[in-house]
Amino acid sequence: MAAATAPATGLVTLADIRRAAATLAPVAVRTPLLPCDALSELAGAEVWLKPEMLQRGGAFKFRGAYTYLAAMSPEVRARGVIAPSSGNHAQAVALAARLFGVPATVVMPTTVTAAKRAGAERLGARIELAGTTTADRMARAREIAGAEGGTLVPPYDDPTIIAGQGTAGLEIVEQLPEVGTVLVPVGGGGLSAGVATAVKLASPGTRVVGVEPAGAPKLTMARAAGAPVRLDKTASIADGLLAVEIGRLPFAHHQRYLDEVALVDDAALRPAIRLLVDRAKLVAEPSGAIPVAALMARVVDVSRGGPVVLVLSGGNVDWAALQALLGGPQG
């Protein structure tokens, strides 16, 4: 099991995460833990859901985005912010910017889902489209920041972002002190790094498992190589988890605090989304449902070791896309 000693220099601390929690307390939703009998029966363990689709902006990303903007000086923040994002970070930054009364530009892929683009537009962000990869979006965001003087808000490779996302893990330990295992999605790594750090520092005996798509195994490959590895391509219906390389700072946290990484095939995601709708009455996008898919596909054994918490990272999917994911209208 990963060590849970004092953080090495440069890593986010539990005090950092607690400060982020205090910053977020007046504005963010403290999402509940919900029991899920259907998954408990399947897994042979007590299973709880952490539904971050109930967070403002429809995903966990608001935690990091608001924490980042709150840490900026008012003078710098007033010049505006730019967010490179596959969708959820864009909406989170747009919402945080609206709360602070500053302009936001978001750089999204040309393949962005209709729900995520519409969400950013509703929140008043200016939309730019750039390529299909994280690198494409980051390059365009840097161009805009250089030309217009706004501040780029990183999606995951930043200590303030990691601390903000880690507040979800801190809540888990506060809500369920006896938690035995936490499953958390892995995209660029901000959420998984923050949650693993918070959980391990607050509850050293708890096991933390990162879950990523089999078609985007950036953390799996990085752990095998001992350093972040840039993948030639990624492919999955879990569009929020398609970074081609794990963030370097998140990876350092993963190496210290994350016990395991599990891979899930796309075929397991649709049944997971359906189970959440049918049995938990929750709407998750594929990225958010991946911990459920890991249990249903039995790629992670949680039958021993106490209660299990699944972090459902988001639910930004519209009705048309949900129908398509679930095989069309059901009679």
Distance of CA 258 to the CA centre of its chain: 15
Is residue 255's pLDDT more than 60?
Answer: yes
Q: What is the pLDDT of residue 328?
A: 54
Residue 103 has φ and ψ, to the nearest 5°, of -75, 150
Instruction: Measure the CA dihedral 246/252/253/256, to 10°.
Output: 130
Identify whether 297 is part of a domain. Answer: yes
Identify whether 37 is part of a domain. Answer: yes
Domain that holds residue 181: 14-56+158-325
Identify whether 281 is part of a domain. Answer: yes
| Single residue among 123, 152, 181 that ends a domain in this structure | 152
Is residue 4's pLDDT more than 60?
Answer: no
Is residue 7's pLDDT more than 80?
Answer: no
Q: How many CA atoms lie within 13 A of 164 on its CB side?
A: 32
Residue 299 has φ and ψ, to the nearest 5°, of -85, -10
| Single residue among 152, 169, 188 that ends a domain in this structure | 152
Say which of 50, 61, 200, 218 is annotated catalytic: 61
Residue from 128, 133, 134 nearest 147 by CA: 128
Lowest mean pLDDT among 12-26, 35-49, 130-144, 222-236: 130-144
Task: Identify whether residues 24 and 107 lie together within a single domain.
Answer: no
Say which of 203, 236, 287, 313 is annotated catalytic: 313
Is residue 2's pLDDT more than 60?
Answer: no
Residue 158 has φ and ψ, to the nearest 5°, of -160, 140
Adjacent-strand bridge partners of 83: 106
Mean pLDDT of 72-90: 92
pLDDT per residue as tens digits for the range 173-206: 999 999 999 999 999 999 999 999 999 999 999 9
Mean residue pLDDT across the chain: 93
Contact 292, 204 (CB under 8 A): no
Q: What is the CATH number of the domain that holds 72?
A: 3.40.50.1100
Structurally, the chain folds into a number of domains equal to 2
Task: Identify whether residues 51 and 68 lie together within a single domain.
Answer: no
Q: What is the pLDDT of residue 293?
A: 98
Mean pLDDT of 244-254: 97
Task: Identify whether residues 95 and 221 lie together within a single domain.
Answer: no
Read off the amino acid at residue 228.
P
pTM, two decimals, is 0.93
Annotated active-site residue 313? The verdict is yes
Task: Identify whether residues 169 and 275 lie together within a single domain.
Answer: yes
Q: How many CA atoms lie within 13 A of 62 on its CB side?
A: 26
